[in-house]
Structure 1
Amino acid sequence: MIKKTIKDLSINCQNILGWKSNKKILVIESDDWGSIRMPSKKAYSNLLNNGIAVDKCPYNSNDSLENTDDLNALFETFSSIKDSEGNSLKLTANSILANPDFEKIKANNFEKYYYEDFVSTYQRVNGNTDTYELIKQGLDQGVYIPQLHGREHLQVNEWLNILREGDKEALLAFDNELFGYPTQRYRDSKMHLLTALHIRNPEEEKFAIQSIRESANLFEQFFGFKSESFIAPRYIWNDVIEKELANVGVKYIQGKIVQSIPNENSLKSKIHLFGSKNKYDQIYLNRNVFFEPTQNPRFPWMKDALNRIDISFRWGKPAIISMHRLNFMGGLNEKNRTDNLLALKDLINKVQKKYPDVIFMSTNELGKLINNEK
């Protein structure tokens, strides 16, 4: 009881200050679209049989490159749910625009990084670009709204260092076209391989700036418009990144209430009030609801999410729900996709029953609303 009281007090405090609205707005932000993650069931079995505990990581067990089955199931569910204004439920699909080109990297003895755009990854992994064509249909229907998540979901410099050192687990994962894997080094290091913008020195800063520029260009090339918002992998970024994001047209920064700012040896925290602006006139949009059933099946996600939504609406805040891609993927485990889409539909139905006037928005639409009211 005491723990619940303290938790509720904390959630309330995080929602009290900052921009407010009389409207009950619901946004779903989903990270990692376009990233390869676990390439196949065969790769999963190879790694597991060689002693890499991929079965202990929900991402490695369930998250794989999206395919047409995933998207068709997603679009069917989202288009079947309408808000009080007739809008379909919308997925802000935070997208990774490139993946490592494993073949070229290996051919150059891990000395230089090469990447392929995500549509080329669809072609190589899925055997066609039908997924990309379906994404464009979802965009036209207004249910799938791509936004920028970065060029790759990977701290490239650290990864190449580990590979050059000859780390056996890293090399085995590499040979199976995987870069996110659980190892002792992975757990003990202050550097998480998936923190693409964990910048420690001038060389990595230069690399990160280039990656932002190239990801923005790729985004516009494949989606036909500039991304207005951005979410940093694992919520780690610094002022240099914000400046470069402003240069490529990003107006809204997704995240949690606490930003992790990297330096050479550690991370420091910075709090952002909802709707506050930085010196580049970018607006911070904080996630305040989390619905991630695949991350921990034993956690009461439904109860927690409904409580957080109640609190956000009580204080005039949008309910911004974090629900990563892994919850929607069925390529490795079809039940994972089916169960979570049903759970999400149940969550939204419960919200609409209690708040019939709730309206659905994408992240960039919410950002525009805040900008227009300031």
Structure 2
Amino acid sequence: MNIIKEIILNAKHLFGWKTNRKIIVFSVDDYGNVRLNSKEARLNLDKMEMKIYSRFDLYDTLETKEDLTQLFAILESVKDKKGRHPVFTTFSMTSNIDFEKMQKDDYTCFYNETLPETFEKLSKQQPEAYAGAWDLFREGIVKGLLKPQFHGREHLNLIVFNDKLQKRDKQLLCALKNKSYTSISDEEYPNMSSMAAFDFWDFIENKAFIPIIQEGLDLFEKIYGYKSTYFTPPVNNIHHSLFKTLTEKGIRFIDLAMIRKEHQGLNVFKKSFNYLGKKEKDGLIVMVRNVVFEPTEDRGINWVDFTMKQIETAFRWNKPAIISSHRVNFCGHIDENNRNIGLMALKNLLDEIIKKWPDVEFISADELGECINKTKSLN
């Protein structure tokens, strides 16, 4: 590792909450989201020359029963000093596109459905993959292997979506006809991602996001039986004017980038610096992920070694290791080899963690937030 990377790796730990405990948190994004429907859908998109922008366009599907079965086996194979298994804080969506309803309406209007409805449909359409998947997911929660928190209502930007729908965009219609929302270009929308739910061009567009957040959090409580207290915005973008709505609905902790460029509208940006435990004016406590683990992303590195180095640095500075990852690393519905690579790396990482730090503690992201809120041991 060159000296510049070494400086950056250490610098992000200079500020914020500290602890002598060796805490490991897995913050894993995108659960509950339908991006790619099936192998057949991907083949159809390929035939239509729909561009593959990333591994998400290739492999990211709603978690299958086999995805969860194999993930749980890995998580249950390891225990910390208190006898607790690693827990995935699954940042989850509460709704998806209702592809069938949109088809009946000739794709003239956006319709959505709740996550349990999505699982129910897919268990009938693709029983070999999805029959029993939702029950297994909930079983994982009961076992303490999963702890869902809020990631948004849908993992898509409705401004981009509705504009493309109105224009009868061929790319969008092709994806929707294949019950997918992937390989979508957003080049014509400055500073907006088709996947970022809270991206905007004109600041006033943020007003439309308020009921989306409110409905999403109400659905979260209805689906999981408890209120979400922790929020990670899709693609990590959200304007601080929406923080008030989040706190009013029970959110207490929010993931933000250490160096954050917040869009103010009309291509104007404002930079801010964040650190673990920083308190926003609206009362939200900022959480900053400090470790990256993306084993199916080809960066030409050994992901286990790279992640271990990051954890070691965090512990050296008396910081918890908040490991950022994505569901796509553990998806095998399109290609089992993708899941095998991700899970093998996860197993190796967990074994190395226990070996190097036998006094490690595995907790969920919201539990870490509560620890910070109680102790407030900040620089």
Q: Which of the five TM-score ranges fits, normalised by the shorter chain?
A: over 0.9
User: Structure 1 counterpart of 2:255, which letter?
Assistant: Q
Q: Is the 8 A contact 2:108 2:165 kept in 1?
A: no
**Pairing partner for 2:15 from 14, 17, 20:** 17
Name the residue aligned to 1:101: 98
**Pairing partner for 1:175 from 174, 177, 185:** 177
After TM superposition, the score normalised by the length of structure 1 is 0.94
Deviations 1:74-131 (A, max 9, x none): 1111111101111111000000110112333455565543210111111222326622
Name the residue aligned to 1:47: 45
Mapping 1:102-181, distance limit 5 Å: 102-108=99-105, 112-127=109-124, 130-181=132-183
Find the aligned partners of 2:35 and 2:163 in 1 and give their Cα distance.
20
Gaps of 5+ in 1: none
Find the aligned partners of 1:147 and 1:84 in 2 and give their Cα distance.
25
Find the aligned partners of 1:109 and 1:38 in 2 and give their Cα distance.
20
Deviations 1:147-206 (A, max 9, x none): 0000001001211101211222222122112222154x5487432100101133466323
Gaps of 5+ in 2: 125-129
Give the 3-state SS of the residue equivalent to 2:193 in structure 1: coil
Q: Percent identity?
A: 34
Find the aligned partners of 1:158 and 1:26 in 2 and give their Cα distance.
37
Structure 1 runs of 4+ aligned residues shifted over 4 Å read 106-111
**Pairing partner for 2:33 from 29, 35, 47:** 35
Find the aligned partners of 2:88 and 2:162 in 1 and give their Cα distance.
33
Deviations 1:209-235 (A, max 9, x none): 111111111111111100110000111
Name the residue aligned to 2:252: 251
Name the residue aligned to 1:335: 337
Find the aligned partners of 2:107 and 2:207 in 1 and give their Cα distance.
19
Give the 3-state SS of the residue equivalent to 1:200 in structure 2: coil
Shift of 1:359: 0.5
Name the residue aligned to 2:206: 205
Q: Bigger shift: 105-114 or 154-163? A: 105-114
Mapping 1:349-368, distance limit 5 Å: 349-368=351-370
**Pairing partner for 1:77 from 74, 77, 87:** 74
Q: Report the RMSD for the aligned CA atoms in angstroms.
A: 1.9
Find the aligned partners of 2:254 and 2:165 in 1 and give their Cα distance.
33
Find the aligned partners of 1:187 and 1:342 in 2 and give their Cα distance.
39
Q: Is the 8 A contact 1:67 1:126 kept in 2?
A: no
Deviations 1:17-55 (A, max 9, x none): 11100001000010010100111111100010111123x
Shift of 1:354: 1.6
Q: Bigger shift: 249-258 or 200-209? A: 200-209
Find the aligned partners of 2:242 and 2:301 in 1 and give their Cα distance.
34
User: Structure 2 counterpart of 1:259, which letter?
Assistant: R
User: Structure 2 counterpart of 1:80, which letter?
Assistant: S
**Pairing partner for 1:68 from 56, 65, 70:** 65
Find the aligned partners of 1:270 and 1:109 in 2 and give their Cα distance.
44
Shift of 1:343: 0.8
Mapping 1:306-317, distance limit 5 Å: 306-317=308-319
Q: How many residues align?
A: 370
Find the aligned partners of 2:237 and 2:203 in 1 and give their Cα distance.
17
Name the residue aligned to 1:240: 241
Deviations 1:344-365 (A, max 9, x none): 1111211222211111010011
Give the 3-state SS of the residue equivalent to 1:207 in structure 2: helix
Give the 3-state SS of the residue equivalent to 1:263 in structure 2: strand
Q: Is the 8 A contact 1:35 1:96 kept in 2?
A: yes
Q: Bigger shift: 33-42 or 170-179? A: 170-179
